[in-house]
A = this chain, B = another copy of it.
Amino acid sequence: MARKTMVQAINEAISLKMQDDSTVVVMGEDVGVDGGVFRATDGLFEAFGAERVIDMPLAESSIMGSAIGMAINGLKPLVEIQFMGFLYQGFDQLLNNAARWRHRTLGQVGLPMVVRMPYGAGVRAVEHHSESTEAIIAHVPGLKVIAPSNPADAKGLLISAIEDPDPVVFLEPKRLYRIKKEEVPEDLYRIPIGKANVVNDGTDITLVAWGGMVPVCLDAAKHAENQGISTEVLDLRTVSPFDLEAIIKSVEKTGRLVIVHEAPRSFGVGAEIAALVGERCLLHLLAPIKRVTSYDIVPPLLKLENYNYPNAERVVRAIQQTMEF
């Protein structure tokens, strides 16, 4: 085991899968010679050559669409979209074609493709570099959405995603790309899609989060525990289909739920979680479900961005309000 950043873990996952399965090809803008603007594909061009690590022209729709074509014809494309803000140039192909191919062919042809992209805040750049629009993708039947929260999960989940027979959108919280190194097993291991992970045990209240918000919740949980509130933190890992069973199990225990996400609140993923828990655990709820999220605005540029994204302080406040209800 070596200590690795999340980007390094991702790089390792890709590299191992490319060695393991010759049908895996990497494609996207600047993924080849440059190794990706975040270096997630560093060294792969040298190791696997230009036919398996493809520097594509600057055109997201045809990147997505040609990946579909490759998957139709037996490859497993691993697409990098440079930032989630640029996904929407290629969204029509994702929504109207990638998501529907298995259905359209009546199960004859599934598309084992993965679309990776950094999402959320974390670089001090201009507009469109901090987006978190997983709710939009999650609403598309036929897709899966994953968002890891630490290096070891990123590796295991990415390997599972590449091996998954259906299209997976893999959201990488760029704020965690290099924030710290953690132990990452060396081998080719999988973390199951659709299963949540209890990252902090607790009995008074449940926090549900994924990707970049998990550390914020862990931080908030510490503060809450200092105040005597035993806080369970559930890392969803998979945003769609999310692990409803694990959420219900925890809420049945705690009776209280706060959902934390980096995306705007309205019509976000938190709403679906709240709606289902409300539907299925109404009588267990000791307080209304709260959502701590970004606001319903364009993600601010760097000067104001920290006022927009959930932080431990806001999560603790929501925990307190829920406890006091």
| Chain A interface (Cβ < 8 Å from any Cβ of B) | 85, 88-89, 91-92, 95-96, 99-100, 103-104, 127-128, 133, 135-136, 138-139, 141-142, 240, 263-264, 266-272, 274-275, 278-280, 282, 285, 287-291, 296-298
Contact = CB atoms under 8 A, between A and B. Distances in A.
Given A88-B91, A127-B104, A285-B282, A141 B275 contact: no
19 contacts: A88-B92, A88-B96, A89-B92, A91-B91, A91-B92, A100-B127, A103-B298, A104-B127, A104-B298, A135-B139, A136-B139, A139-B263, A141-B266, A141-B297, A271-B271, A274-B278, A278-B289, A279-B289, A282-B287
B136 A264 contact: no
A101 B176 CA distance: 30
A136 B140 CA distance: 9
Given A89-B92, A104-B127, A274-B271, A288 B297 contact: no
A98 to B, nearest CB: 12
B139 A268 contact: yes
Q: Sorted from nearest, which 7 A-B pairs have the closest CB atoms?
A: A274-B275, A88-B92, A278-B278, A139-B267, A271-B271, A271-B275, A271-B272
B88 A95 contact: yes
Contacts of A279: 274, 288-291
Given A85-B96, A288-B278, A142 B298 contact: yes
Contacts of A275: 270-272, 274-275, 278, 289, 291
B141 A133 contact: no
A244 to B, nearest CB: 10
A136 to B, nearest CB: 5
A300 B99 CA distance: 14
Nearest to A145: B267
Nearest to A263: B139
A125 to B, nearest CB: 15
A272 to B, nearest CB: 4
Contacts of A264: 139, 141
A285 B92 CA distance: 40
Contacts of A96: 85, 88, 128
Contacts of A92: 88-89, 91
B103 A267 contact: no
